[in-house]
């Protein structure tokens, strides 16, 4: 299907002229399109190209009904022409195949910088004017369409949430294919066309994304149709995939598991026929695969795809100032620049735009002529109006009763459980309850079991379409857990899944969440912009569970020790970012249950997987999580008046160490009146004008006091707490202990010691911050120093923590002066099936719908 002209001649011709001569009399070449169809699809393409150029250049005279004058041209020319005509070409042909086969199709446009073309198409389809009535299908509307592009208060130069039919921000490159596969999951009737630019194809995430086909079930999922668009150049360089030998490119795509059909050339007529033929063949093949699979046939063939090789800036100016432009990197952005100042440049622009013959395309009132308007699909079949791209499936999840999932907590520190294992039981129920709705998935880099969520495998498996062998663990064609050793893929799939209205959880190691910083960043920006668009439906939140966290990476060492993802998310806007640090299993349940009910958020939950003491019953957890922060009265001894000191904590390990420090202090300096405050929702700390969860000042002061020292044990980098609280009255008295990049290979407790987040350092900090305690305080400080020295010696010798440290728990009761009494209660070990019995726990209502 090579539709190239004889190259030497073409090249020569291009150099000769400064203007396009784009198919005025398109000579018929045979192919699937009849003569009339060929002329019409070509005219539709011209219309899209015309509107694209108009957006980049014009602010008046949109239909060129008068000669082009300087004042018709925008003062600042911005946008990317290079990729646009290729996108318009693909769009026109997708329209044809949608109409012909009544397809349910959305499209993901990787070369999203080509927004002029995508906006033009949405306008040609009428969707744009339906959503933005100001931008009507008439001359005045067309002027608005042109003017708003890359203009203050208008739309950006790449595909953005403002573009109807899009689920994919076209700013940062690399994620189109992962988004496309995420959108296709559990949508068996859907086809997701995904245009991959040859620039984007060089990125790591995209290079890995091709393998997503090994996770897509042809029976229960939709199809993805990749269209690799080779236009040869990036900003200045040739692209790797366009320049590598053709046999290597085919081999690469076959190796990725695809069967490529090549459409190559620059002659419009031949290219239209080749593209139409390719789409016919590819859609036949998709239908055949679906049919076989759904008849139960084992047929996992190579997935069909198209490689479109077309000139960059196709149909644009052939040359400007004597330098070739069409087909070169010079057409990447604005191919002819000085159109306001330079009459010659302006003439090139005018000739270029007139070469599309707008007078044939648009009627007197400026609307698309009827014989072209019928080429667009109708209603929700339009790519720009497909309801999948606007989260039309965003039904809420059915969620289990937390009482069926909680762990029994006979008293603070009376039982141990692994928080994430408890969560696994909850997620198993979520999967069961939504089995038929097929709208919940779990993604993770091969860590579902490692993160102890394995109860989910009671009811589902790991999605896998490759061969299965004896000994494989819970592989399942239709598995709802998706594991691949690529955080990029996990995150990208989940984004595509939630952007099309379904729900999910991405569970990953805390330290390596940074791998997807930039993806989460772009998703946050998408949510921020969408929220300003009334027509955009809310999308289920992106829920990220960080486990295997910084404080329990003993043997893995420094590379696995990093809590910085929280800081990254905390930089995002208050209307988007949520960060939860549940201190134990039941609070983790409450927080997750809450997150799964929310929309338009990025929820980050940090929770350990190791056996740990449990502090709160489900009832208490519900109350505590609803408030987001609270005084733990059972741990405090402040009495009637204000305490001498607040011991605050956020995170599971910091909470344990704080309670151990408080226990120690209450034994050794019982006259010290301590308040224990636990923070589960980090965003209660900033002021309410900064974050909607922020406590008002009186409430904050009632917890943290206005003038007492606050020793704050925090899971992450300590300065985040300072940042969040710096406007608070009492901020000057905050002493925050957190991770200070003193990681190494060591034991859990020693890791805390190295970072001064352990009970002894926290108690020391309390003694130093608290009012003078005289000799008693000095004795206590000495005892703490001794304890630290003893720990140090023991751990280096034995490789383990001191038993009295490791096995410490909160005593059943504290009495003043019970200095040396150690209470050895029975510690209950909770397995994954131990749950609080119904009736033991109280209501779980009251927090679910709060955002």
Instruction: Map the footprint of its own copies across residues 413-472, applying CB under 8 A.
Output: 446-450, 462, 464, 466-467, 469, 471-472
* Rounded distance between C-alpha atoms, residue 566 and residue 572, angstroms: 10
What is the radius of gyration, based on Cα positions, of the chain?
A: 31
Which residues inside 484-513 make contact with its own copies, applying CB under 8 A?
484-489, 511-512
Contacting residue, 204, 380, 817, 838, with its own copies by CB under 8 A? 204
Instruction: Tell me the window of 119-127, 149-157, 626-634, 657-665 that interacts with its own copies (CB under 8 A).
Output: 149-157
Cα separation, 460 vs 474, in Å, equals 8
Choosing from 343, 558, 692, 696, the residue that interacts with its own copies (CB under 8 A) is 558
- Shortest distance (Å) from residue 802 CB to its own copies: 12
Cα 791 to Cα 752: distance, rounded to the nearest angstrom: 12
From the number of C-beta atoms within 10 Å of its C-beta (0-12, 13-18, 19+), residue 788 rates as middle
DSSP structure string for 576-611: TEEEE--SSHHHHHHHHHHHTT-BS-EEEEE---SE
Q: Which of residues 745-784 bind its own copies (CB under 8 A)?
A: 745-747, 750
Q: How far apart are CA 766 and CA 769, in angstroms?
A: 5
- For position 257 contacting its own copies by CB under 8 A, the verdict is yes
Could you say whether residue 692 binds its own copies (CB under 8 A)? Answer: no
- Kindly state the smallest distance separating residue 98's Cβ from its own copies, in Å: 28
Smallest gap from residue 76 Cβ to its own copies (A): 6
Contact 317, 330 (CB under 8 A): no
Q: How far is the C-alpha of 443 from the C-alpha of 445, rounded, in Å?
A: 7
Binding to its own copies (CB under 8 A) within 522-541 occurs at 522, 525, 528-529
Rounded to a whole number of angstroms, the minimum distance from the CB of residue 302 to its own copies is 8
Comparing CB distances to its own copies, the nearer of 236 and 775 is 236
Q: Does 10 bind its own copies (CB under 8 A)?
A: no
Query: 841 near 616, Cβ under 8 Å?
Result: no
Q: Is 518 in the site for its own copies (CB under 8 A)?
A: yes
Burial of 6 (0-12, 13-18, 19+ CB in 10 A): exposed
Q: How far is the CB of 147 from its own copies (least distance, A)?
A: 8
| Cβ at position 18, least distance to its own copies in Å | 16
128 binds its own copies (CB under 8 A): no
Verify binding: residue 243, its own copies, rule CB under 8 A: yes
Report the nearest approach of its own copies to the CB of residue 750 (Å).
Answer: 6
Q: How far is the CB of 622 from its own copies (least distance, A)?
A: 32
Min dist CB 512 to its own copies, Å, is 6
Q: Work out whether 110 is an interface residue with its own copies (CB under 8 A).
A: no
Which residues, 19 to 58, sit near its own copies by CB under 8 A?
Answer: none
Contact window for its own copies (CB under 8 A) among 43-51, 553-561, 603-611, 825-833: 553-561
Binding mask 321-340 for its own copies (x = CB under 8 A): ---x---xx-----------
Strand 462-463 and strand 223-230: the pairing is: unpaired
204-235 core/surface letters (b: 16 or more CB in 10 A; e: else) = ebbbbbbbbbebbbbebbbbbbbbbbbbbbbe
Using CB under 8 A, pick the residue from 235, 374, 395, 823 that binds its own copies.
235
Binding residue for its own copies, selected from 84, 203, 339, 394, defined by CB under 8 A: 203
Interface residue with its own copies, options 68, 92, 139, 249 (CB under 8 A): 249
Cα 618 to Cα 426: distance, rounded to the nearest angstrom:
13
Q: Which stretch binds its own copies (CB under 8 A): 118-126, 634-642, 741-749, 766-774?
A: 741-749
Q: What's the rounded Cα separation, in Å, for the pair 679 and 681? A: 6
17 makes contact with its own copies (CB under 8 A): no
Among 36, 248, 341, 401, binds its own copies (CB under 8 A): 248
Among 124, 145, 173, 431, binds its own copies (CB under 8 A): 173
Among 53, 92, 185, 206, interactor with its own copies by CB under 8 A: 206
For its own copies, the binding residue among 54, 111, 156, 630 (CB under 8 A) is 156
For residue 305, give the 3-state DSSP assignment. strand
State yes or no: residue 741 binds its own copies (CB under 8 A): yes
The answer to whether the CB of 205 falls within 8 A of the CB of 489 is yes
Q: Does 171 bind its own copies (CB under 8 A)?
A: yes
Sign of the Cα torsion 228, 232, 238, 241 reads: positive
Nearer to its own copies, 44 or 509 (CB): 509
User: Shortest distance, CB of residue 722 to its own copies, whole angstroms?
Assistant: 5
- Which residue among 9, 24, 76, 772 contacts its own copies (CB under 8 A)? 76
Give the CA angle between residues 527, 621, 623 to the nearest 5°.
Answer: 80
Size of the site for its own copies (CB under 8 A): 121
Residue in 60, 207, 338, 476 binding its own copies, rule: CB under 8 A: 207
Cβ atoms of 159 and 108 closer than 8 Å: no
Cβ proximity to its own copies, 25 vs 247, nearer residue: 247
> What is the rounded CA–CA span in Å between residue 677 and residue 331?
61
CA distances from 668 to 92, 168, 592, 781, 814 (A): 79, 59, 38, 10, 12
Among residues 810, 802, 760, the alpha carbon closest in space to that of 782 is found at 760
The enclosing H or E element of 131 equals helix 127-131
Would you count residue 202 as binding its own copies (CB under 8 A)? Answer: yes
Binders of its own copies among 571-590, rule CB under 8 A?
A: 571-573
Sequence-separated (6 or more) residues with CB below 8 Å from residue 380: 386, 387
Query: Hey, how many other C-beta atoms are within 10 angstroms of the C-beta on 801?
Result: 21
Please, which of residues 632-671 interact with its own copies by CB under 8 A? none
Q: Any contact of residue 78 with its own copies (CB under 8 A)?
A: yes
The answer to whether residues 671 and 773 touch, using CB atoms and an 8 Å cutoff, is yes
**Using rule CB under 8 A, residue 4 touches its own copies:** no
């Amino acid at each position: 299907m090579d539709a190239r002209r004889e190259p030497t001649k073409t090249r020569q011709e291009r150099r000769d002229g400064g203007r396009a001569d784009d198919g005025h009399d398109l000579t018929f070449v045979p192919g699937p399109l009849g003569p009339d169809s060929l002329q019409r699809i070509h005219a539709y393409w011209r219309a899209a190209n015309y509107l694209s150029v108009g957006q980049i250049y014009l602010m008046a005279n949109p239909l060129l009904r008068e000669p082009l004058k300087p004042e018709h041209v925008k003062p600042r020319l911005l946008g990317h022409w290079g990729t646009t005509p290729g996108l318009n070409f693909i769009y026109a042909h997708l329209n044809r195949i949608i109409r012909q086969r009544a397809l349910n199709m959305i499209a993901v446009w990787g070369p999203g910088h080509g927004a002029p073309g995508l906006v033009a198409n949405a306008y040609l389809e009428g969707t744009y004017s339906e959503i933005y009535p100001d931008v009507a299908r008439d001359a005045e509307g067309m002027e608005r369409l042109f003017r708003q592009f890359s203009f203050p208060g208008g739309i950006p130069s790449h595909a953005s949430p403002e573009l109807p039919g899009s689920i994919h921000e076209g700013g940062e490159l690399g994620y189109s294919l992962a988004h496309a596969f995420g959108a296709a999951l559990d949508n068996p009737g859907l086809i997701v066309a995904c245009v991959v630019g040859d620039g984007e194809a060089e990125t790591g995430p995209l290079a890995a994304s091709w393998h997503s086909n090994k996770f897509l079930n042809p029976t229960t999922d939709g199809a993805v149709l990749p269209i690799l668009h080779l236009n040869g150049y990036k900003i200045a360089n040739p692209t790797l995939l366009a320049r590598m030998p053709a046999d290597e490119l085919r081999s690469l795509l076959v190796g990725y598991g695809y069967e490529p059909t090549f459409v190559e050339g620059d002659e419009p007529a031949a290219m239209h026929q080749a593209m139409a033929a390719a789409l016919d063949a590819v859609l036949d093949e998709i239908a055949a695969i679906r049919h076989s699979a759904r008849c139960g046939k084992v047929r996992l063939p190579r997935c069909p795809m198209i490689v479109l090789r077309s000139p960059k800036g196709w149909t644009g100016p052939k040359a400007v100032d004597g330098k070739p432009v069409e087909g070169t990197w010079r057409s990447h952005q604005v191919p002819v620049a000085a159109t306001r100042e330079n009459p010659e440049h302006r003439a090139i622009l005018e000739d270029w735009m007139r070469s599309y013959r707008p007078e044939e395309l648009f009627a007197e009132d400026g609307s698309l002529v009827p014989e072209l308007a019928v080429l667009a699909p109708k209603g929700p079949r339009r790519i720009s109006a497909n309801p999948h791209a606007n989260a039309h499936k965003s039904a809420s999840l059915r969620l289990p009763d937390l009482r069926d999932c909680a762990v029994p907590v006979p008293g603070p520190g009376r039982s141990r459980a692994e928080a994430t294992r408890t969560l696994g039981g909850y997620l198993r129920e979520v999967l069961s309850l939504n089995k038929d709705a097929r709208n919940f998935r779990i993604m993770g880099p091969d860590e579902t079991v490692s993160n102890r969520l394995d109860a989910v495998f009671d009811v589902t498996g790991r999605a896998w379409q490759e061969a299965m062998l004896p000994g494989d663990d819970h592989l399942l064609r239709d598995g709802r857990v998706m594991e691949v050793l690529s955080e990029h893929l996990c995150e990208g799939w989940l984004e595509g899944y939630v952007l099309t209205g379904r729900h999910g959880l991405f569970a990953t190691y805390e330290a390596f969440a940074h791998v997807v910083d930039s993806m989460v960043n772009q998703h946050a920006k998408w949510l921020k912009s969408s929220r300003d668009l009334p027509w955009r439906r809310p999308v289920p939140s992106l829920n990220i569970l960080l486990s295997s966290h910084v404080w329990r990476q003993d043997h893995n060492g420094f590379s696995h020790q990093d809590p910085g993802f929280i800081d990254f998310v905390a930089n995002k806007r208050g209307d988007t970012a949520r960060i939860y640090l549940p201190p134990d299993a039941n609070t983790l349940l409450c927080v997750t249950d809450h997150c799964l009910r929310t929309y338009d958020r990025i929820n980050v939950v940090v929770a350990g997987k190791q056996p740990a003491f449990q502090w709160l019953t489900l009832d208490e957890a519900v109350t505590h999580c609803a408030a987001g922060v609270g005084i733990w009265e059972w741990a405090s001894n402040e009495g009637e008046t204000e305490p001498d000191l607040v011991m605050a904590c956020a995170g599971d390990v910091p909470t344990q160490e704080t309670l151990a420090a408080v226990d120690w202090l209450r034994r050794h300096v019982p006259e010290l009146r301590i308040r224990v405050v636990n923070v589960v929702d980090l965003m209660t700390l900033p002021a309410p004008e900064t974050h909607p969860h922020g406590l008002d000042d009186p409430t904050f002061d009632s917890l943290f006091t206005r003038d007492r020292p606050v020793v704050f044990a925090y899971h992450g980098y300590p300065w985040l707490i300072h940042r969040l609280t710096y406007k608070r009255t009492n901020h000057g008295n905050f002493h925050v202990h957190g991770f200070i990049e003193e990681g190494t290979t060591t034991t859990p407790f020693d890791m805390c010691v190295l970072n001064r987040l352990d009970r002894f350092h926290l108690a020391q900090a309390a003694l130093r911050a608290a009012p003078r305690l005289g000799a008693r305080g000095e004795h206590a400080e000495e005892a703490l120093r001794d304890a630290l020295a003893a720990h140090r010696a023991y751990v280096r010798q034995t490789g383990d923590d001191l038993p009295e440290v490791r096995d410490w728990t909160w005593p059943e009761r504290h009495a003043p002066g019970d200095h040396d009494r150690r209470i050895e209660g029975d510690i209950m070990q909770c397995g994954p099936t131990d749950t609080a019995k119904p009736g033991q726990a109280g209501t779980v209502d009251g927090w679910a719908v709060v955002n």
